[in-house]
């Protein structure tokens, strides 16, 4: 349900130890879920991932063309000005190390069916107008083969590799929140509710870069075999506790893994 930001709760912060690793968590919204994991990745992990990315050519990125009634239709758009590249989950040593860390620190999130890493570079003037990550095709005929098998984009995991000197925040206009991650911070949000319907408040955009270069990497997490969707709370909401204190929630619980 779309809800004005003024009705939202205050920020909650947690510090947990999981797998002998410190996890600093800031909950910015519970419905939809919007979380920042501070210092999620050590500086060495960030440097290795960034080094792997810089060896690649970054190409102009497209957006899904919902006007065409056919799968795998993309187009250029003035709403998105960014260059990027893709990596398989464990394609290089630096990328693989980061992927395994995400798996370790977010045990209730199934990454097996997530899309490839997308690494994006925003230079001055670069931006991405507010949009939804949920593909939300108009008809079943438009579904690409991957979405038919693995479901739509349940959640988004965004890892900050290098922030811009000025600008470059990620804004959630319906929540009244702008996130400014530091290197190694990760942002996680849900794009659908338990019924797999679009979370209207998940609308977000990439603010314009004024100075410097912003480099971030994204994993779009598909709905297939997600514990949070299959084991909701009695209220019908997603169980955010599994994301902010996984060690406690692990007691007597086994996450879904295929």
Among residues 90, 88, 108, 87, which one has the least CA distance to residue 98? 90
pTM, two decimal places: 0.88
- Reported in sequence order, the residue ranges of the chain that DSSP labels E, i.e. its strands, are 12-18, 21-30, 33-38, 59-60, 63-64, 74-75, 80-81, 83-87, 117-122, 127-131, 153-162, 166-167, 170-172, 177-179, 186-190, 204-206, 209-211, 214-222
CB half-sphere exposure, 123, CA atoms < 13 A: 5
**Per-residue model confidence as pLDDT tens for the chain (258 residues):** 444 444 444 478 988 887 788 889 999 999 999 999 999 999 999 999 999 999 998 877 555 554 555 555 545 567 888 899 999 999 999 999 999 999 999 999 999 999 999 999 999 999 999 999 999 777 777 788 999 999 999 999 999 999 999 999 999 999 999 999 999 999 999 999 999 999 999 999 999 999 999 999 999 999 999 999 999 999 999 999 999 988 766 655 555 554
Q: What is the DSSP code string of 91-115?
A: SSHHHHHHHHHHHHH-TTS--TTPP
**CB contact set of 54 (below 8 Å; sequence gap of 6+):** none
A 10 A CB-CB count for 158 gives: 23
Domains and CATH numbers, the chain: 16-248 (2.60.120.620)
């Amino acid at each position: 349900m779309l809800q004005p930001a003024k009705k939202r709760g205050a920020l909650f912060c947690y510090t947990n130890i999981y797998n002998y690793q410190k996890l600093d968590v800031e909950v910015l919204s519970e419905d939809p879920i919007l979380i920042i994991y501070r210092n999620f990745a050590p500086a060495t992990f960030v440097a290795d991932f960034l080094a792997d990315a810089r060896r690649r050519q970054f190409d102009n990125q497209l957006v899904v063309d919902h006007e065409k009634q056919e799968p795998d239709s993309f187009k250029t758009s003035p709403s998105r000005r960014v260059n990027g590249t893709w990596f398989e989950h464990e394609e290089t040593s630096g990328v693989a190390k980061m992927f395994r860390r995400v798996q370790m620190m977010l045990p209730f999130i199934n990454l097996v069916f997530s899309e490839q890493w997308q690494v994006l570079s925003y230079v001055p003037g670069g931006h991405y107008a507010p949009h939804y990550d949920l593909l939300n095709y108009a008809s079943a005929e438009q579904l690409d083969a991957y979405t038919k098998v693995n479901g739509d984009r349940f959640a988004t995991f965004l890892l900050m590799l290098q922030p811009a000197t000025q600008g470059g925040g990620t804004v959630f206009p319906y929540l009244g929140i702008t996130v400014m991650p530091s290197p190694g911070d990760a942002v996680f949000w849900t794009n659908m509710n338990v019924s797999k319907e679009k979370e209207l408040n998940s609308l977000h955009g990439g603010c314009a870069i004024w100075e410097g270069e912003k480099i971030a990497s994204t994993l779009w997490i598909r709905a297939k075999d997600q514990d949070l969707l299959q084991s909701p709370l009695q209220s019908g909401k997603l169980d955010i506790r599994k994301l902010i204190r996984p060690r406690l929630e692990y007691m007597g619980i086994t996450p879904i893994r295929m």
